[in-house]
């Protein structure tokens, strides 16, 4: 019942993921969510994020930004990264994920989606059979209020953690 929302893997943040391990598993491309995954909602890319994209590029991992946000917002984030992107993706629609894989010239099976929202990033990827990694959402220290969805996400991930069949699909993907 809850499986439809289960990610294939989890990491505390995008910097804790061992991308070489993903590559060894046969993954050649990544669809990244931007807001609260790579940077705080609406923020510009940081030097650390830009370095991550350079690192992925150097190792031959293809990347694409998949966002429900506007083209203007993505372009601002993407200024020094220059990754291909899909704006206003409509993330629950599996077509957006298939389109992302196609833009990278890869079959869906060789692409991983990385995002912070169980009900959007992960559910959408699951709907088209794409691997996915959930990361904890980025929030500022003064942000203490959780939305209802975040409470539900916590519950779903607590169930996921107790379920090795789903939890260990990618093995240990953290550094």
Tell me the torsion sign for CA atoms 55, 59, 60, 66.
Answer: negative
Q: Give the nearer residue to Mg ion in terms of CB position, either 116 or 153.
A: 116
Q: Euclidean distance between the first and final Cα of the chain, in Å?
A: 31
Q: Give the nearer residue to Mg ion in terms of CB position, either 37 or 63.
A: 37
Tell me if 68 contacts Mg ion by CB under 5 A: no
Tell me if 63 contacts Mg ion by CB under 5 A: no
Q: Smallest distance from the beta carbon of 34 to Mg ion, in angstroms? A: 7
Q: Give the nearer residue to Mg ion in terms of CB position, either 28 or 121.
A: 121
Tell me if 36 contacts Mg ion by CB under 5 A: yes
Q: Give the nearer residue to Mg ion in terms of CB position, either 28 or 65.
A: 65
Binding footprint of Mg ion, residue count (CB under 5 A): 5
Of 50, 68, 116, 153, the one binding Mg ion (CB under 5 A) is 116
Q: Give the nearer residue to Mg ion in terms of CB position, either 28 or 117.
A: 117
**Nearest-10 Cα torsion for 99, 27, 155, 127:** 30
Of 9, 28, 31, 33, the one binding Mg ion (CB under 5 A) is 33
Tell me the C-alpha distance between 9 and 7, whole Å.
5
Tell me if 153 contacts Mg ion by CB under 5 A: no
DSSP per residue over 17-61, as a string?
A: B-HHHHHHTT--EEEE--BTTTBSTTPPPPHHHHHHHHHHHHTT-
Tell me if 35 contacts Mg ion by CB under 5 A: yes
Q: Smallest distance from the beta carbon of 167 to Mg ion, in angstroms? A: 22
CB contact burial 148-162 (16+ within 10 A = b; e otherwise): eeeeebeebbeebee
Backbone Cα Rg of the chain: 15
Contacts to Mg ion by CB under 5 A: 33, 35-37, 116
């Amino acid at each position: 019942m809850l499986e439809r929302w289960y990610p294939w893997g989890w990491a505390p943040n995008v910097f804790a993921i061992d991308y070489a391990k993903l590559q060894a598993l046969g993954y050649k491309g990544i669809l990244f969510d931007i807001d609260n995954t790579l940077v705080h909602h609406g923020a510009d890319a940081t030097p650390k994020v830009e370095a991550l994209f350079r690192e992925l590029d150097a190792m031959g991992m293809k990347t694409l930004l998949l966002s429900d946000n506007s083209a203007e917002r993505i372009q601002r984030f993407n200024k020094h990264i220059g990754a291909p992107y899909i704006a206003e993706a409509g993330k629950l629609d599996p077509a957006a994920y298939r389109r992302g894989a196609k833009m990278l010239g890869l079959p869906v099976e060789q692409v991983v989606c990385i995002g912070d929202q169980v009900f959007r990033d992960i559910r959408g990827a699951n709907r088209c059979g794409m691997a996915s990694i959930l990361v904890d959402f980025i929030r500022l220290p003064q942000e203490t209020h959780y939305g209802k969805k975040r409470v539900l996400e916590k519950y779903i991930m607590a169930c996921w953690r107790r379920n090795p069949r789903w939890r260990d699909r990618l093995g240990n993907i953290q550094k």
